[in-house]
């Protein structure tokens, strides 16, 4: 079972809750990371999805916005054809290991980036990342899935 332990956004709220989701804001997920992923070219919230993660990268320098066409990846299978990133210019540390979950049915895609340069995490994510559909048998196990199981909803 794939387990992802972090779901709380920088403001302390669960990304899986109503009114929360993907947002291209560099302080939305991990406050001091200066790295954010969304599906729109601005700071508009997409509350159809949420992210849970194990590793999140940290950036420094000046801010920038980037876009990547992911329509030829498994993200398209859950309705995401473009990822947008807001981050600072220089990769300081860490890697990205996350799962993007569609709220309506729990289908998920794992996104992993292990590069050591800032370019690996910005534009052309489709060619820099490992993007793979998560088999429902394998999870993903997230704090939200645990909450729903404890409440008898799944």
Q: Assess contact for 109 and 130: CB atoms under 8 A.
A: no
What length does the chain have? Answer: 154
Predicted TM-score of the model (pTM): 0.91
Domain positions in the chain are 35-150
What is the pLDDT tens value at each position of the chain, 154 positions in all? 688 989 899 999 999 999 999 999 999 999 999 999 999 878 899 999 999 999 999 999 999 899 999 999 999 999 999 999 999 999 999 999 999 999 999 999 999 999 888 889 988 898 899 999 998 777 777 878 777 777 777 6
The runs of H, that is alpha helices, within 32-153 are 125-128, 143-150
pLDDT digits (tens, 9 = 90+) for 17-56: 999 999 999 999 999 999 999 998 788 999 999 999 999 9
- How would you list the strands of the sheet with 35-38, edge to edge? 35-38, 82-93, 58-69
Query: DSSP of 55-90, one letter per residue?
Result: E--EEEEEEEEEEEE-TTSGGGGGT--EEEEEEEEE
Q: Assess contact for 23 and 43: CB atoms under 8 A.
A: yes
């Amino acid at each position: 079972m794939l387990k992802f332990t972090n779901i709380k956004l920088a403001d302390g709220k669960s990304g899986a809750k109503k009114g929360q989701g993907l947002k291209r804001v560099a302080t939305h997920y991990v406050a001091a990371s200066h790295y954010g992923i969304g599906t729109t070219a601005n700071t508009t919230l997409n509350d159809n999805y949420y992210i849970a993660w194990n590793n999140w990268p940290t950036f420094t320098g000046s801010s920038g916005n980037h876009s990547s066409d992911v329509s030829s990846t498994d993200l398209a299978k859950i309705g995401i054809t473009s990822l947008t990133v807001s981050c600072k210019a220089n990769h300081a540390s860490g890697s990205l290991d996350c799962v993007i979950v569609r709220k309506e049915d729990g289908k998920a895609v794992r996104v992993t980036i292990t590069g050591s340069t800032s370019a690996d995490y910005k534009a052309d994510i489709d060619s820099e990342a490992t993007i793979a559909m998560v088999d429902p048998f394998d999870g993903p196990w997230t704090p939200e899935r645990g909450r729903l199981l404890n409440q008898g909803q799944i």
